[in-house]
């Protein structure tokens, strides 16, 4: 027997069904929006050769108005990476543990 036991009284069943229908409608809208965003990303790729990876990232930054924060995080990551592995033109980037060779 299931662990879930719900006792609905009176018109509670109709209320729950109404909420479930509303949730389904919301899910349909979300699916449609995802499809629309994919189509826009595809259009950017086809019309302007903008890679989808960068189109999504730029759209997210623009939407959240967080470009400055992303710049700071990227700079912090670059510093961290260079501390670990050296600069890109540094010969140390070719050194890998034996297990990766």
Asked if 55 contacts 44 with a C-beta cutoff of 8 angstroms, the reply is: yes
- Comparing 3-7, 55-59, 97-101, the range with the smallest average pLDDT is 97-101
Where does the pLDDT of residue 101 fall: very low under 50, low under 70, confident under 90, or very high at 90 and above? Answer: very low
Q: Tell me which residue range forms the domain holding 38.
A: 11-50
Q: What separation in angstroms does the CA of 78 have from each of 47, 66, 82, 92?
A: 32, 18, 6, 16
Do 43 and 74 fall into the same domain? Answer: no
pLDDT tens-digit series, residues 8-37? 888 999 999 999 999 999 999 999 999 999
For the chain, the domain total comes to 2
Give the CA radius of gyration of the chain. Answer: 25
* Backbone dihedral angles phi then psi of residue 74, each to the nearest 5 degrees: -65, -40
Do 16 and 36 fall into the same domain? Answer: yes
Do 44 and 68 fall into the same domain? Answer: no
């Amino acid at each position: 027997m299931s662990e879930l036991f719900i006792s609905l009284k009176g018109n509670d069943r109709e209320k729950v069904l109404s909420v479930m229908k509303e949730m389904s409608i919301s899910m349909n809208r979300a699916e449609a929006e995802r499809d629309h965003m994919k189509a826009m990303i595809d259009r950017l790729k086809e019309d302007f050769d903008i890679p989808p990876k960068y189109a999504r990232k730029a759209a997210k930054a623009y939407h959240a108005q967080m470009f400055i924060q992303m710049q700071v995080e990227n700079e912090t990551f670059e510093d961290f990476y260079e501390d670990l592995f050296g600069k890109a033109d540094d010969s140390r980037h070719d050194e890998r543990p034996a297990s990766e060779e």
